Structure 1
């Protein structure tokens, strides 16, 4: 019997770091906002789909949006306003040729815009799949109009062939870095730099083994570097683990790194990366021994600090059946240290074909394999990578994988949530009222929602979850603008714009403070929950503790009158202000408990089969716990009375009959017409003899007494049977007659041949 997969790979994976016992595994958003047109500004055009490429042009106040066969220029402040657009469609010949390659999948044989980057002279570089034949072009925006310059270039190695294939790209000083595939089957994954010297990765499984590219980021490591180091480009992806000695294919998360000044080798690794190195990324989550796989990564840097303090926020989902998603953060200095000082893994052949990857313990060549050119290398006469010796190049060609895995900050996730899978993430920083800065995570999900979350010193807290699209469309791209303070989310269906701060959703001071949103606080002067940056007055806020004790006393809640008749039903509404709160009910100051005729609902109280004892003053209370204590607030009050008739918004009362009004008059006219029609119908039936008159019925009754005991109805049926039979039988065989032959005791006998016709009337 084969060993289980978990036992086979135990040497590869460290024990999962257990989350703290008090950390909520299924972190619940405090507030859930269902879809509504006011949640966000929306943009989409009929017949156009896949709005998954974005470029913020804050210099001209535009959001450049790439979709299927179209590029849009939208107003950055209100994306529902289209400023300009340009179509980039494939020809019928291209579509037909693509259909042959792709089994006539017509929708894929379009031009899906995948790359949008700004270049010099305010021009933009745009690439599309172009019916599985990628092309790139330059685009300009002038006088309110988008224009393609028709300077098409081959997009192979820059843009993916398949519109559904994940990719990553980055434009830096006219140099395009791309991670995609170089053939339409997706079997040749590659990391390339297009200019000035085209450099790419090796087509070897030890470099890239069936990868799924996620994102790319640059890191200015040359700034204030005493060693004269080079800038780096980091690539985040997932792939099949070559180092895993197991029966099943194990997917692991990776981060790779190359140097911007890499020119390739002189003989070995010609026009190939000499600085390509990769390492495994761990995001340990409880309940999982298999590694979580990366879905997206976002670089956040404090402009006032060194690049070493930059953080990479990444979202992870499980490989197997689990509904837990996680966010882990990684320090840039930790990643750099693994590449600069870590051990290498090396392949070892066992027998004739089995290859194992183990830690390399031999001598490492000098200069260090995979390192960028620095002052030490220059002093040794190595001005660029073309001068690197063959031993260094041969070493890194065979051993691009590091032995040490990169661990997240704190050795555990910042957020673990049970529910819709995470898909994208962006992070912003905001200063709270107490002067402390907090990083706020905006996380897109596969169900089209946006989570707004913060980690307060190890405490996971989700401020709210907002449904952006009416249909559960996966979020495929997220961007935000510091200029507008807006978040932009794209999906197949359309693109949405929502503000980073939604303070107006909190209607009371307690709700505002318990939301623990670093963007918002309660303004005592105006009595509203406002954004901190928009107010210079005294603000009540407590993001770390959620202390609402400083809130002023709330105004009394309006108490509507509700009445109900004895034995009736009544619902008292009380929507909970928070998913973290628990609602309780009181009647005349005494707490209510659930009994058969008092049902506690999620949004109210239901009184069934009411009696006079159910009258009184009802009050709904919201009880919410925070780190600083328990806070109770009155949500609703009702004065309920029992009477012969009922009225009120929440009562289930039988309506009284209306005795006047146009609808009543119309009803009376209709009833009168129906009575007249009924009388006419009865008269006609009496005239035709279909219905016997009372005196005729009496005469027939007297006659029937002489012939036998037949009642009036029987006489009518007998007459109808004799005069107007319902079944027409022209002939009958002996066998058929036998079927209808009555038993000796059956009465009366039926003469079948007498049935001659059907009375249509």
Structure 2
């Protein structure tokens, strides 16, 4: 919004296929860009702002509105669409043309923005955001990325507004030329430029030619603007190089603030957001831009889409917005810096050490003439009253047992500093069992050799030199605990006297068991009273070489190997097995082979019953029963058992006995009837 008028760069149609830069006003006429590729070619707008003309301007110039966007290039040929960062300008008092460019901009011009790094020969051709620092001589800051080489780098370039105006007011134009009647190429226009100058605002020069409004401009000038909206000259950055280049990051938004330090110089402080929810704070000092702080605004790595700077002079804030939330953060965290050395080494122009308050304060809330403030943007902390402590914020003391694990933590403020550890004033080599997890030192299986003083130091480059400071100090002490005493023989006498403990390490020897009795090693309890030890003394005392085995573990390991319970269980099992075997032998539930052995062992006359099927039970008694002679049975022959079959060899039932039945009688008596004999039916005819 500029004086109640809305200037916007957007897409006009519902499908978003027609990009325009337009003005909606209640007092002025509606204006928009021409729908043509030379004017706008698939642009992506990122920023728009107004630059007021200076008061009492001798040229009588007008206020101008600048648009920043990235579009597809028309002047460069490439196998793919080549993106180019642009800056476009329109005048606030533009009213459009009378016949040509009616209700269209008559002051629309655009030019290329160059952001090139000569060190690595990289061109950053996509502009993501722009911030205009409005001073007496305004400065334009822009964040750029590159889509050509996919290098994952971002850059910050700054431009002087006077350089931009020189391109629009004194630069050459480009025109389209047809090559071989098929291809259009944009080249530099070397012809005569009409007057008043196309694209210029109505200034004193135009008014001297009786052109008081854009409605009065000649059609020749308006037609030239319609056909030549692109400038041939490019806008070069200040210093012909980027202010800042950073790897492995994508910058999304930028705001710039100015602060006057205690040395009287004014410094530009840039706040740059990333697509990972980070905020980088960079300071321009001695023609060099350096990052002094990195703040995590969104822990879940949301991309920062909006970044604003409040205008309050006493206490300024940064407002960052993502797609879901907004965060407010101060421009400096001076109160978080605990020591003078740390306050100075941050090289933050907002912060200074107050000797009276003994704290780091924000100079915006203090008087710059206060002599109690200490500030050095060179990182020189020699003037600090506590320079001897080198920034130590915390000292820890540990007393641990041997064989345990120790975790030594180290927290430091600067994300741009590197961490290294020292042990007893010497650089610590990180080798197993010592491991470094980010800035935390972890020691496994601590021994007496690990006891000592550990210091966590941060190291950071300051103006081509490394400045280090001790952040935290850890004193590690190994707790000496008496080891359990072991004895091979028991003693019944006790004596009370101080004992000088010595360790005897013996190599293990192979022994041969001579009897089933096992030697039992007993533990001796030790009680300390008045610096005297009253143990049970034996002929020989041997200390275990394993330091981490306690008394409880030793008691668990020293058992008598008593197997009485196992022997009882085995006896009970065999007794039950014997009872089960006896019962099966008595009942005859064992296989026939086992029953034969039983009969042989017991000398039994009882025959083993035949293993006959249910269908053979009818002849079971006949086959098993022994035929007795006549003299033993009293001369009376016992009638055969009636099995219910009509085909039995019985002559008393009225049936006629066949000859073939007589021949097979002996065979049928020896074997079951249904094994090898055919079944005879009662009504069958004899053959």
TM-score (normalised: structure 1): 0.61
User: Are 1:471 and 2:300 counterparts?
Assistant: yes
Partner residue, 2:330: 499
Q: Is the 8 A contact 1:576 1:582 kept in 2?
A: no
Q: Is the 8 A contact 2:8 2:21 kept in 1?
A: yes
> In the alignment, which of 363, 367, 375 is matched to residue 541 of structure 1?
375
Q: Is the 8 A contact 2:109 2:231 kept in 1?
A: yes
Within-5 A mapping of 1:65-84: none
Partner residue, 1:10: none
Which blocks of at least 5 consecutive residues in structure 2 are unaligned?
483-546, 553-568, 592-687
> In the alignment, which of 638, 644, 647 is matched to residue 474 of structure 2?
638
SS for the counterpart of 2:348 is coil
Distance 2:288 2:584 in 1: 97
User: Are 1:696 and 2:576 counterparts?
Assistant: yes
Partner residue, 1:313: 141
Measured after TM superposition, the shift of residue 644 of structure 1 is: 5.3
The size of the alignment, in residue pairs, is 495
Measured after TM superposition, the shift of residue 379 of structure 1 is: 1.5
Partner residue, 1:206: 38
CA 1:581–1:442 in structure 2 vs 1: closer, same or farther (change >3 Å)? closer
User: Are 1:522 and 2:353 counterparts?
Assistant: yes
Q: Is the 8 A contact 2:403 2:548 kept in 1?
A: no
Q: Is the 8 A contact 1:222 1:228 kept in 2?
A: no
Measured after TM superposition, the shift of residue 633 of structure 1 is: 2.8
Q: Is the 8 A contact 1:522 1:540 kept in 2?
A: yes
Measured after TM superposition, the shift of residue 605 of structure 1 is: 2.5
> In the alignment, which of 358, 380, 383 is matched to residue 550 of structure 1?
383
Partner residue, 2:404: 568
Q: Which has the higher contact order (CA 8 A, sep 6+)?
A: 1
Partner residue, 2:17: 187
User: Are 1:380 and 2:209 counterparts?
Assistant: yes
CA 1:528–1:271 in structure 2 vs 1: closer, same or farther (change >3 Å)? same
Distance 2:185 2:333 in 1: 54
Measured after TM superposition, the shift of residue 378 of structure 1 is: 1.2
Distance 1:205 1:557 in 2: 62
Task: Give per-residue Cα distances to partners, 1:426-471, cap 9 Å, x unaligned.
Answer: 1111111111111111112211221111122332311222222232
CA 1:437–1:645 in structure 2 vs 1: closer, same or farther (change >3 Å)? farther
Distance 1:370 1:219 in 2: 17
Distance 1:339 1:525 in 2: 55
Partner residue, 2:414: 578
SS for the counterpart of 1:606 is strand
Question: How much is the aligned-residue C-alpha RMSD, in angstroms?
Answer: 2.9
Q: Is the 8 A contact 1:232 1:258 kept in 2?
A: yes
CA 1:464–1:291 in structure 2 vs 1: closer, same or farther (change >3 Å)? closer
CA 1:576–1:338 in structure 2 vs 1: closer, same or farther (change >3 Å)? same
SS for the counterpart of 1:367 is coil
Within-5 A mapping of 1:640-679: 640-643=476-479
Q: Is the 8 A contact 1:454 1:461 kept in 2?
A: yes
SS for the counterpart of 2:96 is coil
Within-5 A mapping of 1:276-425: 276-285=108-117, 287=120, 291-302=124-135, 305=136, 309-320=137-148, 321-425=150-254
Distance 2:299 2:434 in 1: 35
Distance 2:352 2:464 in 1: 17
> In the alignment, which of 47, 57, 77 is matched to residue 215 of structure 1?
47
Partner residue, 1:488: 319
Q: Is the 8 A contact 2:424 2:452 kept in 1?
A: yes
Q: Is the 8 A contact 1:563 1:645 kept in 2?
A: no
Measured after TM superposition, the shift of residue 601 of structure 1 is: 4.0
Q: Is the 8 A contact 2:293 2:415 kept in 1?
A: no
SS for the counterpart of 1:362 is coil
CA 1:701–1:566 in structure 2 vs 1: closer, same or farther (change >3 Å)? farther
Which blocks of at least 5 consecutive residues in structure 1 are unaligned?
1-170, 647-652, 659-685, 709-761
Distance 2:468 2:43 in 1: 52
Structure exhibiting the larger radius of gyration computed from Cα positions: 2
Q: Is the 8 A contact 2:293 2:416 kept in 1?
A: no
Partner residue, 2:670: none
